[in-house]
Structure 1
Amino acid sequence: MTIEAAVAFLAEYWLIIISVLGLLVFSAFFAGAETALTAVSRSRMHTLESNGDISAGIVVRLIARRDRMIGTLLIGSNLVNILASSLTTSLFLGLFGDSGVAFATVIMTILLVVFSEVLPKSWAIAAPDRFALAVAPLVRLLVIVVGPLSSLVNGIVRRILGLFGVNLSSEMPMLTAHEELRGAVDFLHREGSVIKADRDRLGGVLDLGELEVSDIMIHRTSMRGINADDAPEVAVRTVLESPYTRMPVWRGSTDNIIGVVHAKDLLRALAEPDVEPENLDIVRIAQKPWFVPETTNLKEQLNAFLRRKMHFAIVVDEYGEVQGLVTLEDILEEIVGDISDEHDLEIQGVRQEADGSIVVDGSVPIRDLNRALDWHLPDEEATTVAGLVIHESKSIPEERQAFTFYGKRFIVMKRVKNRITRLRIRPADGAPIPPPPAKGEGRE
């Protein structure tokens, strides 16, 4: 084509060319706006709105009616894409005849994919908050104008899907707030923005409502208590030699808990005139025990501890039988990890061997092992590692028996009566297990 022919072409079709280019710009706007407004951080928008950002307030109101907003943007995008394609087709039909349809299809496909889909969406996903704030005022105006048509389309879609048994509700989010938070934290951890320790703490908070006190309690077989019928000096020595500040008091049977002794109350009693360990009445200074059902979830139990200003409760089953005890510290440890002080007993529950395997006490909770080694062993059916092996094997294994499940090889090292007390765990493929991060280490 000569220069004169090109000038003549532009002079004749300049209006159509400019219209197509303008429609491509609008198409890019709709695609970028849809991507940004669906990927935008709602929590950041709420924060900016509370700080007086008007555009952030518009974004919050737009995503509150997401179906209406997306419907408006899709209607606008389809309108401009169809109109741009129609104008281009008419232009090429005039230039090339019937073969112009093929030329128009190829050229518009390239232009729409590159400049109206990939480019604006890549830009929007790279900076969704900034992009959303920029386009929000214009999108709000479009929603006001096209919103009724969008609502009509959404209504038709819901009715059609309803015929096939699919019920869509604009009021019901696909994910719960907890699931969205957990997903965001996991994503940021994989990106390196959130360290492992912070991810575990946030996950611990989110898990409180899903766990029961029976999942974290100190089992009755591991409880240390005071026999009310023992000589007073024996009871005093038991309290003073214990690493715990509170201990249950039982009489006749460990199932018959009649009180809870606080070490501070014991010391106050011993400080009174004429009181010696030999004549101290341990039952008199004991506090009334607080019994809680084993099915109470940790969120409720934490609130109950705070409301009653207590730190210690006895856990019972549906028949009122004592199953164990739970403390405020046990719940806090689910959030922040192990809390140790200078009086805690050092119990080595998890130990890495030179060959890369892990030796674990059977009583180690699965959640603690998952947290320490960043594993994902299930803890729905069993609380401890020994319980998981018994559940999966459907038996009480013998020593040296080995089982493979969830990508791990579990070898029973020691069994006492019907209890598995020690196991060795190694990857099923034989690869060495990386050592757990040291305290204070953030990233895996």
Structure 2
Amino acid sequence: MTTDGTLAFLSVYWPEIVSIVALVLMSAFFSGSETALTAVSRSRIHTLEANGEERAGIVRQLIERRDRLIGALLIGNNLANILSSSLATSLFLGLFGNSGVALATLAMTVILVIFAEVLPKSWAISTPDRFALTTARAVKMFVAVVGPVSSFVNAIVRRILALFGINLSREVSMLSAHEELRGAVDLLHREGSVVKADRDRLGGVLDLGELELSDIMVHRMAMRAINADDPPEVVVRTILESPFTRMPLWRGSTDNIIGVVHSKDLLRALAERDAEPEHLDISKIAQKPWFVPDSTSLEAQLNAFLRRKQHFAVVVDEYGEVQGIVTLEDILEEIVGDIADEHDIDIQGVRQEADGSIVVDGNVPIRDLNRALDWHLPDEEATTIAGLVIHESMTIPEERQAFTFHDKRFIVMKREKNRITKLRIRPAEENEAGPA
């Protein structure tokens, strides 16, 4: 086509061409806005609004009624696409006759896919927060005009889906807030934005409401306590040689806890004038014990520790029998990991072997093993790794007996009476499908 012919063509068809270009740009605007406002970070928008960003408040208002917003944007997008396609078809019919329909369909499909869908959505998804803030005011005005139509369309859709037993709830997330946070942290960890230690700490905070004291307490079998009827010099030596600041005091049997002895209280008593260690009455120094149910959640117990300004509690079951002890440090360690000082006894209970297997003490908590090795062994039915083997095998295994479950091979290395004290764990091979 010559220059004169091009000018003549534009002079005749420029209204249609301008209209098509404008409608394609409108379609791109609606597509990009829909993507950006759907993918926008609510927490980021909340922060920007708190910092005085007016547009962030508009975005928040828009996404609060997401169904109305998306419905309005889809209406605008489809209207722009249909009108631009109709104008292009009319234009091509005038230029090419009956073959213009096919040519217009092909041309508009390419133009709309590239310039009205892929390009704006790719742009919006790369910077959703910025894109949403930029288009917020224009989208708000459009939703104010088309919003009632969108609500009417949504009502029709809900009624139709209800006929098939599908009920759409308004703005109710399928995930709880904790699950959304956990999923976001895990995803960021996989992408490399959050290191494993930070992921574990955040996960520990989120788990506090789901775990009970029975999951983390020091069991009565491992509990170190003081016999109130022992000679005073034995009591003093036991407390001073212990790595623990507080120890339970019992009389008659370990089920009869009569107090909690703090090492500082003992030192104060010994430092008093005319104090005679051989005449020391440890029961008078001991503080009153605090008994808590083993079903108490860690979140509730942490709040109780802070509220009462105490650090130590005795855990009992529904019958009042002593099950163990729990400290404020035990709960904090669920968040930040092991807290060790110069007096702690370093008993990890986990050893890496040269062949790649892991030798584990039976009393090692499953949660600690998962956290240390980034495993995903279930801890709903058992607290320790030995308890998991007994639960899965539904028996008390013999030494050298092996089991395969959860993609791991568990080999019983040592058993004392009915207790599994040492296990070897290695990745399961394909031909290992059960006990051996």
Provide the TM-score with structure 1 as the length reference: 0.93
Post-superposition offset of 1:341: 0.3
Counterparts of 1:394 and 1:50, CA distance in 2: 55
Tell me what 1:113 maps to.
113
Deviations 1:3-62 (A, max 9, x none): 554443333222112111111111111111111111112111111111111111111221
Distance 2:139 2:217 in 1: 53
What is the deviation of 1:63? 1.5
Question: Hey, what does 1:33 align to over in structure 2?
Answer: 33
In the TM superposition, what are the counterparts of 1:273-312 in structure 2 within 5 Å? 273-312=273-312
For residues 297 and 100 of structure 1, the distance between their equivalents in structure 2, rounded to whole angstroms, comes to: 72
1:229 alignment counterpart? 229
Q: Which runs of 5+ in 1 are unaligned?
A: 431-444
Please state how far the C-alpha of 1:231 moved relative to its aligned partner.
Answer: 1.6
Amino acid in the other structure paired with 2:100: G
Residue in structure 2 matched with residue 77 of structure 1 by the alignment: 77
Q: 2:398 aligned with 1:410, yes or no?
A: no
Residues 412-427 of structure 1 aligned to structure 2 (within 5 Å)? 412-427=412-427
Alpha-carbon distance in structure 2 between the residues aligned to 1:251 and 1:163: 70
Per the TM alignment, residue 223 of structure 1 is displaced from its structure 2 partner at its CA by 0.5
Matched residue, 1:400: 400
1: CA distance, partners of 2:159 / 2:235: 73
Deviates more, 1:159-168 or 1:227-236: 159-168
Distance in 2 (alpha carbons) for counterparts of 1:217 and 1:245: 16
Which residue of structure 1 lines up, in the alignment, with residue 252 of structure 2? 252
Q: Secondary structure at the match of 2:166?
A: coil
Range 161-170 or range 387-396, more displaced: 161-170
Alpha-carbon distance between aligned partners in 1 of 2:160 and 2:269, rounded to the nearest angstrom: 76
Quote the offset at 1:83 in angstroms: 1.3
Q: Give the match's secondary structure for 1:348.
A: coil
Deviations 1:62-95 (A, max 9, x none): 1122222111111111111111122222222333
SS at match of 2:296: coil
Matches within 5 A, 1:345-356: 345-356=345-356
Residue 16 of structure 2 corresponds to which residue in structure 1?
Answer: 16
Deviation of 1:102 after TM superposition, in Å, equals 2.3
- 2:362 alignment partner in structure 1: 362
Separation in 2 of the partners of 1:293 and 1:83? 69
Q: Which residues of structure 2 form unaligned runs of 5+?
A: 431-436
What root-mean-square deviation, in Å, do the aligned CA atoms of Structure 1 and Structure 2 show? 1.6
Q: Distance in 2 between matches of 1:131 and 1:254?
A: 66
* Residue 160 of structure 1, CA deviation: 2.2
SS of alignment partner, residue 188 of structure 2: helix
Secondary structure of residue in 2 paired with 1:250: strand
Deviations along 1:165-223, one digit per CA (max 9) or x if unpaired, are 22222242232222222222122222222111111111111111111111111111111
Q: Quote the Cα distance in structure 2 between the aligned partners of 1:93 and 1:360.
A: 79
Distance 1:277 1:166, change over 3 A: farther
User: CA separation in 1, counterparts of 2:339 and 2:53?
Assistant: 42
State the 1:134 CA deviation.
0.7
Q: CA deviation at 1:416?
A: 1.0
Determine if contact 2:360/2:425 at 8 Å carries over to the other structure.
yes
CA distance in 2 between counterparts of 1:339 and 1:305 reads 18
Partner of 1:435: none
| Aligned match of 1:42 | 42
Query: Identity of aligned pairs, percent?
Result: 77
Question: Contact 2:66 / 2:171 at 8 angstroms: preserved in 1?
Answer: no
Deviations 1:324-365, CA, capped at 9 Å, x for gaps: 111110110011001000000010311101111111111111
Q: Corresponding residue for 1:51?
A: 51
TM-score by structure 2 length? Answer: 0.95
The size of the alignment, in residue pairs, is 430
Aligned partners of 2:361 and 2:233: how far apart in 1? Answer: 34
Match of 1:270 in 2: 270
Q: State the AA in 2 paired with 1:183.
A: G
Q: Superposed, which structure 2 residues align to 1:57-72 within 5 Å?
A: 57-72=57-72
Q: How big is the shift at 1:308?
A: 0.5
**1:325 counterpart residue number:** 325
Deviations 1:84-119 (A, max 9, x none): 122222222333333332222222222121111111
